[in-house]
Chains A and B, each alone.
Chain A
Amino acid sequence: MTELIDPAPKVRSYLQSFLSLLIPGLGQAVAGAISRGLIILASILTFSGLTIWTAAQRPRFPDYGLTARAFLILLGETAALLLFIIAAYYLVTRTVARKPTTRAAVQTGFIILGILLIALAQQSLLNTALSADDQSNVYGITLVFGAALTAAMWLWNISDAGWVREDDAPSMNGLVFLSLAALIILGSRVTQVDLPKAVREYRDTEIILRQIVWPWEAAFVYEENNVEAEAKIQAPCPPGATGPEVNEPKDKGPWVVVSPTCGDLSERGTMGAIDFGTELTITGGGFVPGQTVNIRWENPIGNAFKPRGFGDTEIPASGEGTFETKLFIPDATISSTAQGDQIHRLIAIQTGEREFTGKLSQDMKLALQQMLVTIMMGMMATLVGVVLSIPLSFLSARNLMGSLKSTLQAFVGGVFGLVAGAWLGSMIAGLIASALGGLEKYPLLTFGSYIIFVLGGALLFYRLAGASLDWLGKRALPAVVARLITIIGLAAVGATIGYGLGIGFSYGIFSITHTAEFAEEMAPRTGAIGAAVGALLIAYYGYRRQPTDEITTGNFIYVIVRVTLNIIRSIEPLIWAIIGIIWVGPGPFAGFIALTIHTIAALGKLYSEAIESIDPGPIEAVQSTGADRLQTIRYAVVPQILPPFIAFTIYRWDINVRLSTIIGLVGGGGIGFLLIQWIRLFQYEQAGIAVWLITITVAALDFVSAEIRGRFV
């Protein structure tokens, strides 16, 4: 195809331009710049597709065919429009504005002009492409601008094809710029960015926002210096009832007298008409002169309200602090199951000034308490996570584990010792547990003894059996016997792994393709097949090598621990929280479990990377003095990893406290749980308190952790 290239440099190839007009990128590809052509084609295709897809998103069932047709029509129209603008641009720059500086200005001007023209022509363009009915089913602006940008890309591609050569790589800035602009427009459409809506609806949220932003009124207790007096009234008034005792006017302090003290309730008819009940005469005294007295009614179950429409409820007190008014007994609904005398209360009240007491409100106390729970949750998760992740990080550090080698026969002996030791350890721990009286009585002790004995037994027997088989194989047994033992042992290991995989296969696959029963029925068979295959494979490996060959056992452990940590780490703490909630129920414990699991995995990785990046020099120096493995770690590894370990730990604590607030939202306890409850109850002031406390804590922790880390790194 190279003969198509014009040999003379910088001569326009109209053939290539024409090819690119038909299919974008074809001209470039023909010229030899195949990847360039492909990029252009891919850009234009994906961008057209995205535009059509986005523009069609308005109705529930998008009509892509219709949108695509409209898009193509618009593409042609805007291309024509753009060509017209470009022609005008060339005319202007060739005749009037020939200086480079003015040309740049004209260029900018024409780009703006192009955008404006398309924006102005938007409606008319749309009208030619879509009927009014169909227009309501697509996002018109997206379609018009998408088509315009696609047209611009297409035109640019045609011009580009004329100049491109196989070996030179002209800049693709134009395409990059257009693609970026296109993606921003589409992206804002897809994510439903709607600035006018944000402005329009701000006012409605202002009250709530104000509560959240400055919620401190709800954080304190206020004393209300009200002047109030009350009187009791019985309603309804059954025959023969006399009602509560009538109050007497007092010399000192506020009083209110109601007569009669027994009467009938008002009733509301079906049409809203009120059938008034007994009219009460209310007199009162001892109030603050000149200030308004409010009358409130409290029904027998303690609900107070202002009895509007039953009489004057706001009466100014006289110069002597007395007042007088009349009021019908309101239509306070009485439960049909209510028994005995129904005593209402009439309260005459003058609202005094609220006094700031400085005492924290119940909500504030609750928020503080839960904030503390949250901080503790983060701290506990970090501490436990650190303790558990340090040994794991040593196991998943390649530079430490790579030196852990053993002979093949020692490995075989070790594996059997491992299983035997773990079994023996669990037996001993079981005996201890039953002697202690079970998990419920001494949970920590029982749990601890299991861990210590199972792990300890496994490790001890691993070493013992490994070393003894190694010794036997090297010194005591005939070579053939040692080899046979190794091969048989390896075969047994392979059979166990294969058996497990086989069973897993049956349950994992057959329960999907067939039924659970079938899977259960087939499990022994697939297990046997797996065992046979595993045994043969690994036995063959054993046959190919000598029992005294060295294998890097450390790498096995390294791979297993690393992969496990990576899987755990890639599951978000929120998911772990949900698992924790299913496991131990909602509350801080679930959050603690979630954070701890994630912390172990995350810190395990960070720590092991810190270990892997240490200077190996000191290790060989300490080793060369005759130090054992632990001493080497203590003197060559620990001093080097201490600073990054501390830094990572503090950083993780910081993360954990932040995460624990989020974990609370899904039920992990702590302040997050409180926050989501308050939001759901529309108690925005209280929610504001929680938000503030979280913000303050996180900011403070951020500062502290940065300070501490700065000192160690």
Chain B
Amino acid sequence: MLKIENLTKIYEDGTVALKDVSFTVEEGEFLVVIGLSGSGKSTLLRCINRLIDPTEGKIIWNDIDITEASEGDLRRIRRSIGMIFQQFNLVDRSSVMTNVLTGRCGYVNPIWSLINYFPRKDRERALNALERVGIPDKADNRADALSGGQKQRVGIARALMQEPKMLLADEPVASLDPVLAHSILGYLEKLNQEDAITVLCSLHYLDLVQRYATRVIGLREGRIIYEGSRDDIRQLTDEQFKQIYGEEAQRLNVGPEDF
């Protein structure tokens, strides 16, 4: 269980990205964070694994306060929280295999890993992960030779290598076309349901939110302005959605049945 209490992040230039944000995420939830760009979604997700250090507040995960964790503790916490990104954040010049194997960095012997040596078990695990996301034949390709959808699958495979209890997904489909968006979110849903991985995901499109979320948090200017259960979202009209979201809100208009 992830409990966030009074989380505030003020950047050095004075921008208030998050203001007094509190919420709880139960295990096995598919929590979607919605909000305009600049509303603090990315900052919120990055505060959870402390890619960004919060200014104030607590993040308690399984009774450990992540904000207080030492460097060593933080690495152990991070390795059980996977993360995928809007821009995939693969190392383009490395092979798919190497990219996936970096997911094991938190587990393996740091010295061996420096010369790109990973145990056989981990290599098998990497192939399995690639198989799970449907691209086992791409292992030896360079990452920049893949298409956008394939890159995000590698991103998921990399996160899988961490054997995560929770997955942070920062706009995972914003750079993909609608069909691919459903495909990628389908994988996340599968992980959520089959492996009981808690998913925290930020999304843009209302129909994707309605289709996948089990709970929704709406952010605006760093504050939570909406919290809704699965049923609440299903009944959300476009007008209400626009109220939370601002005028930029839009539908994707490709249902899962279309692909």
Contacts and interface: CB of A to CB of B under 8 A. Distances in A.
Contact of B105 (A618, A620, A626): A626
Interface string A604-633: 000000000001011011111111101100
A620 B155 CA distance: 13
Contacts of B75: 626-628
Contact of A640 (B76, B77, B91, B155): B91
A642 B90 contact: no
Interface stretch (B79-87, B178-186, B224-232): B79-87
A643 interface: yes
A622 B102 contact: yes
Interface string B54-86: 000000000000000000000111111111010
Interface residues of B, number: 37
B51 A622 contact: no
Nearest to A626: B106
Contact of B113 (A620, A631, A643): A631
A639 B143 CA distance: 12
Given A617-B85, A620-B51, A625-B162, A639 B105 contact: no
Name, among A622, A642, A643, the residue most crowded by chain B CB atoms within 10 Å (CB to CB): A622
B74 to A, nearest CB: 8
B110 interface: yes
Given A624-B81, A627-B102, A634 B49 contact: no
B158 interface: yes
Contact of B93 (A620, A621, A642): A642
A635 interface: yes
A636 interface: yes
A623 B94 contact: no
A643 B93 CA distance: 9
Nearest to A617: B89
Contacts of A624: 49, 51, 78, 81-83, 168
A642 B98 CA distance: 16
Interface in B104-138: 104-107, 110, 113-114
A639 B93 contact: yes
Name, among A621, A625, A627, A636, the residue most crowded by chain B CB atoms within 10 Å (CB to CB): A625
A643 B94 CA distance: 12
A659 to B, nearest CB: 31
Given A625-B102, A626-B162, A631 B110 contact: yes
B46 interface: yes
* Secondary structure class of chain A's binding surface, majority of residues: helix
A630 B115 CA distance: 11
A392 B158 CA distance: 32
B103 interface: yes
A626 B78 contact: yes
Contacts of A618: 89-91
Contact of A639 (B81, B87, B94, B155): B94
Contacts of A617: 85, 87-89
Name, among A620, A636, A640, the residue most crowded by chain B CB atoms within 10 Å (CB to CB): A620
Interface in A39-62: none
Contacts of A623: 51, 78
A709 to B, nearest CB: 16
Contacts of B102: 621-622, 625, 627, 631, 635-636
B83 A621 contact: yes
A615 B77 CA distance: 25
A614 to B, nearest CB: 10
Contacts of B168: 624
A548 to B, nearest CB: 12
Nearest to A635: B102
A630 B106 CA distance: 12
Given A617-B89, A618-B89, A631-B105, A625 B110 contact: no
Nearest to B98: A635
B163 to A, nearest CB: 11
A634 B94 CA distance: 11
B44 to A, nearest CB: 14
B89 A620 contact: yes
Contact of B158 (A615, A621, A628, A640): A621
Interface of B: 46, 49, 51, 75-83, 85, 87-94, 98, 102-107, 110, 113-114, 155, 158-159, 161-162, 168
17 contacts: A618-B89, A618-B90, A621-B85, A621-B89, A621-B102, A623-B78, A624-B49, A624-B81, A624-B83, A625-B79, A625-B104, A626-B107, A628-B110, A634-B114, A636-B91, A639-B94, A640-B91
Given A618-B90, A625-B162, A639-B94, 7 more contacts: A621-B102, A626-B79, A626-B105, A626-B107, A630-B114, A634-B114, A636-B91
The 5 closest A-B pairs by CB, nearest first: A626-B106, A626-B79, A627-B105, A617-B89, A621-B89
